[in-house]
Amino acid sequence: MILTYDVLISAGHEGRPASCAHFPQHHCNLGAAGERAWTPIVADAATRILREHGVSVVRLPADFAGKYRVGAAVFIHFDGSNPTCRSSASVGYAQPSGAAAAAAWHRLYGRYWPFGFQPDNFTNGLRAYYAYSQVQAREGSLVLELGEITCPAQRAWLAPRLQWEGALLARFLSERIGKGRVPDFQTFQEQATPKPRYNDMR
Ligand SMILES: [Zn+2]
């Protein structure tokens, strides 16, 4: 059976390691330090706002069973890097519909996010995400790395904005599927200010 919703939102690494025993094929990556605490906050905020605007959302942890047909899907993550500050935000997708969705996310998030993006699909985890095969998303399935949590400057920027990240994501998803009309929130007024490239900051 395929379950149908407007939007699928999965919080990266949420529910692990407990869920790993049931999904040995997922390799049980627990994420970067602190990542597992942050992804549900963003996912819950986005879900709440979308539901308030009449959008049906299936809100999932990292590991889930079954197949879904949705308008759009996002898998929320924060990147980790060792050495630190070698990464930034990034987007992953496998389907052609993901490329247009990724470009739209670059345009929207890039207005605010000051630390730039890695190339789309620059890691195997982005290119071949384990859950892509469980989701058909008309307007694309995206893995979103919202920044590098292991980089102190990026972490400091992200930490007070997790609710805002969820709100931005809600607006993005609402626009992608043409449903819900989530408005621009006042907190979106903040614009990206040019920062030194992260390689210059050490
Ligand atoms: Zn992750």
Domains and CATH numbers, the chain: 2-187 (3.40.630.40)
**Residue 82, token pair as written in the block:** 């060792």
Measure 30 CA to ligand 1 centroid, in angstroms.
7
Measure 123 CA to ligand 1 centroid, in angstroms.
12
**pLDDT cut 90: percent of the chain above it:** 85
Determine contact, residues 171/184, Cβ cutoff 8 Å.
yes
Determine contact, residues 3/67, Cβ cutoff 8 Å.
yes
pLDDT of residue 143 exceeding 90: yes
Q: Return left, alpha or beta for 54; rule: phi > 0 is left, psi -120 to 50 is alpha, else beta.
A: left
Measure 21 CA to ligand 1 centroid, in angstroms.
18
pLDDT recorded at residue 90? 98
Count of alpha carbons within 13 Å of 163, Cβ hemisphere only?
Answer: 5
Where does the pLDDT of residue 202 fall: very low under 50, low under 70, confident under 90, or very high at 90 and above? very low
pLDDT recorded at residue 182? 87
88-101 residues labelled b (16+ CB within 10 A) or e (exposed): bbbbbbbeebbeeb
Question: Could you tell me the end-to-end alpha-carbon distance of the chain, in angstroms, rounded to an integer?
Answer: 52
The arithmetic mean of pLDDT across residues 40-54, rounded, is 97
Give the environment of ion ligand 1: residues with CB less than 5 A: 12, 31, 77
Give residue 1's identity as a one-letter amino acid code: M
202 burial via Cβ count (<10 Å: 0-12, 13-18, 19+)? exposed
**Residue 186, token pair as written in the block:** 């006042």
Note the pLDDT tens digit of each residue in 87-126. 999 999 998 889 999 999 999 999 999 999 999 999 999 9
pLDDT recorded at residue 116? 97
* pTM, two decimal places: 0.91
Measure 63 CA to ligand 1 centroid, in angstroms.
12
Least confident span in 12-21, 48-57, 133-142, 184-193: 184-193
pLDDT recorded at residue 23? 92
Measure 145 CA to ligand 1 centroid, in angstroms.
7
pLDDT of residue 200 exceeding 80: no
